[in-house]
Structure 1
Amino acid sequence: MNITRTALILFTLLPTFGFCQNLDSQVDKIYQVKDNAPGISILISKGEEILLDKQYGISNLDYDIPITNKTVFNIGSIAKQFTAYAILLLEEQGKLSIKEPAYKYINNLPRYQKGNPTIEQLLNQTSGIKEVDGIAGVADLTRNDLLTQSQMMNFITKTTSLNFEPGEYFQYTNSNYILLADIITKVSGKSFADFMQEDVFEPFGMENTIKKSSTYTIIKNRAIGYIEDEGDFYKAQLHAFIYDGDGQVLTTPKDMFKWHRGLQKVKNQHTELYKKMHTKAKLNNGNIIDYGLGVEFETHNNYQAFGFDGMILGGFVSKYLYFPELDMMFFTTQNTFESDFKEQFFHLVDLYIPNNNFHIKTRKTVREKKVKLSKKELKMYEGSYLFTGSDVETIKINTIQLKNDELAVLTTDGDEITRLKPIGNHQFMFNDKLVAFDLKYDRKSYKYYDSENELPWLFKEYNPTTYNEKQLKEFEGQYFNADFQISKKIKLIDGKLFVFSRNGAWKNEIEPLCKDAFDYSSDVMTFIRDDNKKITGLKIMGIEFEKV
């Protein structure tokens, strides 16, 4: 940027930087932690100077241990940055190329019909590989069960189809980074934990950072993760998650500062590595996405920024964000799960970074197409529609019905969600999202585009189905999946169908959605029939079980 504009920006920021000591009370107002409650650790820096290093709350409620600047937190998916850096480090050493197909380094990775993802597509989350978390659930594993790298690799490599052609969409999954960890182990000849410790954490001076690789490891100053329910806190630790690549790293804000400063040295000494990591990825159609190689991009107060978020149901939330134009870094980490933590985080940022009016660009006004459709034309889109879920979204059902010359989207209870605004070519606006209809003669459908760069949700028209007891009895039986060595027993009890899992330890009722499809804990269980209409198996999230 030019010198004049730099001077203006610095002049604007001087009041904030000059009186940082006076911001403590304002930070306290943002983070009002109750007595005897989990808390938060905060670090803010400008250049090499730490502006704020502050902690609130309790790290371990059993023993009333307060959070200090030595407390280590599980930072969740922020660990993906370390994995991405490790891959690029190996590439710089000439041991791999991120342009190569991932299967070259991963035993048993399928040759997918839709194409073979490259290592780079694993890194930038455009591979199309399915999310493994849901598959583990189908395999009857919970957050309390031991989940190892070999288990997760088995789930991923036994899933033989992709969600889309590699590079066609952006879809964030943990599977991509679990696979990357396996590549690091194979190429480096070290365990993933050892490579991270010896080749990443130690060179960056991160003395209080560890990749958890055992349920028995003693980790000094470790915070316990909690969730809150009706005012009470409960432990939510994921002690048994020890797989690699996507998380399971514990650190302190001071060590994250060392990571951050270390990356600035990498920028100067290993320019190509840094550039690859911090360049936005491009889809097959040329669209640019707000994701690099283990880096998420965003804008706040008209400044460009990048970093990563880490949210885990084990009771931890973290966020790392860097504003390069100001050379300012913000990092917060807490030991209680909150889905709306970002509001607090950006209130904190706003104390230090005012809105940058110099970067405001005049936006061209996009004129919405005004399309008038007749009642006859609108009625073509009426119907009940079912979205059968995806790796990250559960099933959704709605009804589209003509009301007062407009198409209303209704819940199954008849509550109105919104009105569809026609824009032509079978397309409508669903609030600020696009939906596109396909009016096939046999079954209508529409795609809901949450983002133009992400896989759209496909809603298909369906006919809600009910069954009598005699018909329900046809679904009874034992179903087995040989790949994962798991079975599910379906039994009719008092006119309702139940799925028994884990040798009968678990029981879940399944309710009919449409012909041969049932709601199974917000996933769809679809029964498979042969040419004689006899039930031969079932499918959940693409995993098939054979009736035995």
Structure 2
Amino acid sequence: MHKKQFGILIMLVFLFPKFGTSQNIESKVDSLYQVNESEPGFSIAIFKGNEIILEKQYGNSNLDYNIPITNETVFDIGSIAKQFTAAAILLLEKEGKLSIKEPAYKYIDNLTRYKKGDPTIEQLLNQTSGIQEVDPYLFLLDLNWYDLLTQSQMINIITKQKELNFSPGEYFQYTNANYILLANIIEKTSEKSFPDYLEKHIFLPLGMKSTTKKNSSYSTIKNRAVGYIEDSGIFYKTDFKSTIYNGDGQVLTSPRDMFKWHQNIKNATIGTSELWKKMHTKGKLNNGEEISYGLGVEFETHKGYKAMGFDGMIQGGFVSKYLYFPELDIAFFTTQNIFDWDFRERFFQLVDLYIPKKESINSEFQSVDYKEIKLPKTELKKYEGTYIFLGNEEESIKINTIKLIRKKLIAFDSDGEEISELKPIGNQKFIFFSDKVIEFTINEKIKEYKFSHYPSDIEAPWVFKEYKPYNHTQSELKEFEGQYFNANFQIGKKIKLENNILYFYHRNGAWKTEIESVAKDILEIQNYPIELVRYDNETIKGIKIMGLLFKKIK
């Protein structure tokens, strides 16, 4: 045996002492994932080196027919499918059919030439394009996840948005829209349908015979698991079988096929090692700051070890996670046909059975030592007020009130519950929750603050603007009544006052939802802000919802 090989063997013996007690580990795995045979369940696998060292299944793939989950059952893996989309783009680049440095509009018909700049293909891949998410517009356009949702529909919604959330490369913001657009680029440059390209250039060459891209509501997919949600102990089928658009998901596979994909990433079965290294390199913002996202790959750190992979969550009833630790050459893949927001806790309990904690851990994110300064009461007083964030693609409307109490600025939520003290650190900046920063802008025209989620500030901040809460009178509510029409999407909305309650009619007028007052010219419907647009004479011109103008026609 080579001396280096012997050294690696000795290291692994000490690093993974639990491998010697595999039976004990398997019983612990069973305790994590065991479910009744009549319930939805899990299919899990652990890859070490060039082997699958553990593969287990639990529960039922189809409650109607009492079909157990086996190693041949295929699951919708959600956003993990983005890895295949990114790989297809890089394979096409290797063929010389595109460059990821090129602007995306070159390959996407009708994509807006945005005022803030033209996103590149690379910025679509690493989620820094600034393109708005498509999902929230479904409600506004009288669609939901159980309707037939095709590629052309989704592209139509995305390309009709005329504004970016930020300049390309300025921030990181995860959206499915980026990868739906990438699917069109793949089709245009390869002259093949998206499912055909994946099949011929990725799935078949890797021997992933159980893997398929869903492309029809009526397709028969062998050994397909049905997705469920649970409510009060009752399981309900929630499969989104009519979501057949491309790029961001809709791929079904098994743990054994994911092992073949994993081996490809390690060994470059297709493509080249340089291609897969490029895919697994962290992206950068315009200012040079790294983000924890590559080209269809997310990066994490656990117990001091760096890892890379992806999560896939579908409220239609599936959750999956793939995570690879290169330093230890071990990977974990779990998939399930029951939706669960807290799946990560169980996943990392599984990981912890196999991975020890490093003796010395250097955190990837170093905490920032902020130094509090003293400000006079008169200076603190000017920050008092009630502020509103009108939401974005992921978050709903939020309202905070900031008050000066005993020489301290305190932030409260809309229910009057204390959130945190705001401690001044200089230059109109404050720290709260020990590591979160908010920065105020206060002058004659503006009073607002920006909230940074992370000290590194890689994501676009939330902007809270000062406002005055307002309850509209009946006569004012009556003024809002009418028919509203958006010419871009050829869709209308109706607002009507009934029994002193203002309602918003949607789903072609079949459904109605109560509208609530927020501010003088801001209303709210299901966490969507409705902004009133007026002519100079104060007559209502229309309403704006998520940037879409619905003009009042009567």
Quick one: which amino acid aligns to residue 450 of structure 2?
A: K
Number of corresponding residues: 547
Match 1:455 to one of 438, 451, 460: 460
Quick one: which amino acid aligns to residue 463 of structure 2?
A: L
* Structure 2: distance between partners of 1:414 and 1:58: 45
Q: Secondary structure at the match of 2:480?
A: coil
Quick one: which amino acid aligns to residue 468 of structure 1?
A: T
Does 1:441 find its partner at 2:444?
yes
Q: CA deviation at 1:7?
A: 6.6
Quick one: which amino acid aligns to residue 68 of structure 2?
A: P
Equivalent position of 2:88 in the other structure: 86
Q: Is the 8 A contact 1:58 1:64 kept in 2?
A: yes
Q: Is the 8 A contact 1:388 1:396 kept in 2?
A: yes
Q: Is the 8 A contact 2:44 2:334 kept in 1?
A: yes
Quick one: which amino acid aligns to residue 478 of structure 2?
A: K
Q: Secondary structure at the match of 2:515?
A: strand
Deviations 1:328-359 (A, max 9, x none): 11000011111111111011001011112255
* Structure 1: distance between partners of 2:508 and 2:324: 50
Does 1:495 find its partner at 2:500?
yes
* Identical pairs, percent: 60
Equivalent position of 2:541 in the other structure: 536
Q: Secondary structure at the match of 2:274?
A: helix
Query: 35-44 or 17-26: which moved more?
Result: 17-26
Equivalent position of 2:177 in the other structure: 175
Q: Secondary structure at the match of 1:413?
A: coil
Does 1:22 find its partner at 2:24?
yes
Equivalent position of 2:46 in the other structure: 44
Q: Is the 8 A contact 2:142 2:508 kept in 1?
A: no
Q: CA deviation at 1:362?
A: 11
Does 1:287 find its partner at 2:289?
yes
* Structure 1: distance between partners of 2:271 and 2:133: 36
Quick one: which amino acid aligns to residue 420 of structure 1?
A: L
Q: CA deviation at 1:269?
A: 6.0
Q: CA deviation at 1:32?
A: 3.4
Alpha carbons of 1:183 and 1:366: their partners in 2 closer, same or farther (altered >3 Å)? closer
Alpha carbons of 1:455 and 1:361: their partners in 2 closer, same or farther (altered >3 Å)? closer
* Structure 1: distance between partners of 2:491 and 2:153: 13
Task: Note the 1:111-130 alignment, pairs <5 A.
Answer: 111-130=113-132
* Structure 2: distance between partners of 1:82 and 1:365: 35
Q: Is the 8 A contact 1:267 1:275 kept in 2?
A: no
* Structure 2: distance between partners of 1:8 and 1:444: 63
* Structure 1: distance between partners of 2:112 and 2:308: 33
Query: 403-412 or 256-265: which moved more?
Result: 403-412
Q: Is the 8 A contact 1:527 1:539 kept in 2?
A: yes
Does 1:521 find its partner at 2:542?
no
Match 1:392 to one of 382, 389, 394: 394
* Structure 2: distance between partners of 1:502 and 1:254: 42
Deviations 1:258-309 (A, max 9, x none): 1111122218961221121011001001100010000100111111110010
**What is the Cα-based RMSD across aligned positions, in Å?**
1.8
Quick one: which amino acid aligns to residue 544 of structure 1?
A: L
Q: CA deviation at 1:467?
A: 1.3
Q: Secondary structure at the match of 1:474?
A: helix
Q: Is the 8 A contact 2:205 2:270 kept in 1?
A: no
Q: CA deviation at 1:34?
A: 3.6
Alpha carbons of 1:14 and 1:484: their partners in 2 closer, same or farther (altered >3 Å)? same
Equivalent position of 2:35 in the other structure: 33
Deviations 1:446-491 (A, max 9, x none): 1111131000000000001111111111111101112222110011
- The two structures have a TM-score, normalised by structure 1, of 0.97
Match 2:485 to one of 480, 488, 493: 480
Q: Secondary structure at the match of 1:422?
A: strand
Equivalent position of 1:213 in the other structure: 215
Q: CA deviation at 1:47?
A: 1.0
Alpha carbons of 1:276 and 1:437: their partners in 2 closer, same or farther (altered >3 Å)? same
Q: Is the 8 A contact 2:285 2:291 kept in 1?
A: yes
Does 1:310 find its partner at 2:312?
yes
Q: 5+ residue gaps in structure 2?
A: none
Deviations 1:18-58 (A, max 9, x none): 33233111111222324521111100010111111001111
Q: CA deviation at 1:12?
A: 2.4
* Structure 2: distance between partners of 1:225 and 1:341: 15
Q: CA deviation at 1:534?
A: 1.2
Q: Is the 8 A contact 2:41 2:61 kept in 1?
A: yes
Equivalent position of 2:552 in the other structure: 547
Q: Secondary structure at the match of 2:14?
A: helix
Q: CA deviation at 1:364?
A: 7.5
Q: Secondary structure at the match of 2:259?
A: helix
Q: CA deviation at 1:387?
A: 0.3
Runs of 4+ in structure 1 off by over 4 angstroms are: 2-9, 358-366
- The two structures have a TM-score, normalised by structure 2, of 0.96
Task: Note the 1:146-545 alignment, pairs <5 A.
Answer: 146-266=148-268, 270-357=272-359, 359-360=361-362, 366-431=368-433, 432-451=435-454, 452-545=457-550
